A and B are shown apart, each in its own frame.
Chain A
Amino acid sequence: MTFERKHILGLEELSAEEITLILDTAESMKEVSTRDVKKVPALRGVTVCNLFYEPSTRTRSSFEIAEKRLSADVLNFTLSHSSVSKGETLLDTARNLEAMGASVIVIRHPMSGSPWLLARELDSSIINAGDGSHEHPSQALLDLFTIREIKGKIKGLKVVIVGDILHSRVARSNIWGLSKLGAEVRVVGPPTLIPQYIESAKAKTFYNLEEAIEGADVIIMLRIQMERQESVYFPSLREYSRFYGLTREKLIGAHKDVTVMHPGPINRGIELSSDIADDASSVILDQVSNGIAVRMAMFYLVASAGRNQ
């Protein structure tokens, strides 16, 4: 099959075949990072702009490395959160970048749906690097890639996502991606952080961590965003950690080869006990290098499809 999308906005709109093509392409891309000269000329002459309205050094760096490994010219544009609601509008800023020659725009934005606005109004290819509480396709794709690499498959796996599902774009993208590829997805967290309607996205809801991880092959721990928890969603971090923090004892019911993943950075002692955090850390390092390969694949496929239109 060929990839026919000009934009990669989210996993909800991608088919299982498209997701698999991205993962397969990423496997070929991964090899490039092992060479002496970690660079191929595929995107020579293409200008990619990383338009970040949220500080995210990790994601931005990963995109930037992916762009550079494909020989694209890279333009970084990081704006503070506060400039979203005052000053130049998003569209004006993006049009400016287009005028500077950007033909692919990678956007990270605190408000859900912003990449769709750009996709509708601009000529460039748009890659969503995380929008509000909506989607984070590159993170979910690299999680899928990592799971496939470790487990050899995705179909039939029991995957549990733990934590703040309500505000998590990583959770939403992962739920769609995993269920499309045939995994059984469960979400668990305090009821205040599990949206009532999440089951419509094909995830089974649990409020008890031990029950949720019964027989789990993979556990994805979400980061608790300290700044978001204004005591409205749960009484205290201590209490959260007691009920939803992952410890060795709570893991007993999981599959014996269970893989614990975390998008990082970990709040040690809150989401994960320290010993599990050490295990998860080694997976995190895999995820970092896989992230570059997945993002290279996204650029290659989008640049190819973008030309068609």
Chain B
Amino acid sequence: MAKNVLMDSETIDRTIVRITSEILEKNKGAKDLVIIGIRTRGVHVAERIANRINKLEKIEPPMGTLDITLYRDDLRRKTEWPKVEKTEIPFSVEDKEVILVDDVIYTGRTTRAALEEIMDFGRPSSIQLATIVDRGHRELPIQPDYVGIKVDTLSSEKIRVHLEETDGKDEVIVLQG
């Protein structure tokens, strides 16, 4: 399988810095921000954004973790159901600006599930989506608010965001199918 590196560790760092600045700019600071990462890698990206916010604004935004398994729209079709991990949102999302973080946006279905799940926790004043990679091929009318890199891909290709926390090193790669 041919492998093509899209982003290296430095690029990823810079991207996080930029996305964080955009978030702060758009929301005029971090006062009402809460950060929610989608399992698994979205959680780590979310942590990095939160750290960056902390550095810039001296505020620790509340951090949550979302496991969207129970909200997937393909459960009825799938033959093997994924293991359910814990969703942890130990704060109220009521009237907050929720920054939803994932590593890649593709069909938009994961985001849809995440939106629905967050709504079950309360009524935020807004939900904004940040992702490292937007690889296109949307199947639902959903667009990210903050994007690291936008790439044209073939459906047969696979985009992998590797992070230090889960994979030992930071990089974004494309695998040809």
Check if A and B associate.
yes
Cβ proximity bits B92-129 to A, threshold 8 Å, 1 near / 0 not: 00000000000000000000000011011110000000
A240 CB to nearest B CB, Å: 43
Instruction: Name, among A29, A42, A305, the residue most crowded by chain B CB atoms within 10 Å (CB to CB).
Output: A42
Q: Are B120 and A37 in contact (CB under 8 A)?
A: yes
User: Min CB distance, B165 to chain A, in Å?
Assistant: 20
A308 near B79 with CB under 8 A, answer yes
8 Å CB interface, A268-309 against B? 297, 300-301, 303-305, 307-308
Would you call B75 and A42 a contact (CB within 8 A)? Answer: yes
- Provide the B36-77 mask, 1 if CB < 8 A to any CB of A, else 0: 000000000000000000000000000000010111100110
What is the interface size of chain B, counting residues whose CB is below 8 A from a CB of the partner? 23
Interface size range of chain A in the complex: 20 to 34
Q: Which residues of A sit under 8 angstroms from B85, Cβ to Cβ?
A: 28
B167 at the interface (CB under 8 A from A): no
Cα(A55)–Cα(B86), bound, Å = 34
Report yes or no: B87 in contact with A42, Cβ–Cβ below 8 A: no
Using CB atoms, name the residue of chain A closest to B68. Answer: A40
Is the beta-carbon distance between A40 and B71 smaller than 8 angstroms?
A: yes
From known contacts A40-B70, A41-B116, A45-B76, infer whether A28 and B84 are also in contact, taking CB-CB under 8 Å.
Answer: yes
- A153 and B68 alpha carbons, distance in the complex (Å): 28
Least CB distance from B177 to A in Å reads 25
**B70 is contacted by which of A24, A32, A45 (Cβ under 8 Å)?**
A32
| A27 in the interface (beta carbon within 8 A) | yes
Q: Is B78's beta carbon under 8 Å from chain A?
A: yes
| Chain B residues positioned under 8 Å from A300 (CB to CB) | 70, 81, 84
Give, as a whole number of angstroms, the nearest-CB distance from B115 to chain A. Answer: 12
Q: Does B80 reach chain A (CB closer than 8 Å)?
A: yes
Query: Is B122 touching A42 in the complex (CB atoms < 8 A)?
Result: no
Q: In the complex, what distance in Å separates the CA atom of A307 from the CA atom of B76?
A: 8
Q: Is the CB of B80 within 8 A of A304?
A: yes
Question: How far apart sit A45 and B72, CA to CA, in the bound complex (Å)?
Answer: 13
Decide if A36 is an interface residue (CB 8 Å cutoff).
yes
Given A28-B86, A31-B86, A45-B76, do A39 and B81 touch, yes or no (CB 8 Å)?
Answer: no
| A25 vs B119: C-alpha distance when bound (angstroms) | 22
Q: Would you mind naming 10 contact pairs between A and B with Cβ atoms under 8 Å apart?
A: A2-B83, A25-B84, A28-B85, A31-B87, A31-B88, A35-B120, A40-B71, A40-B117, A42-B75, A45-B76
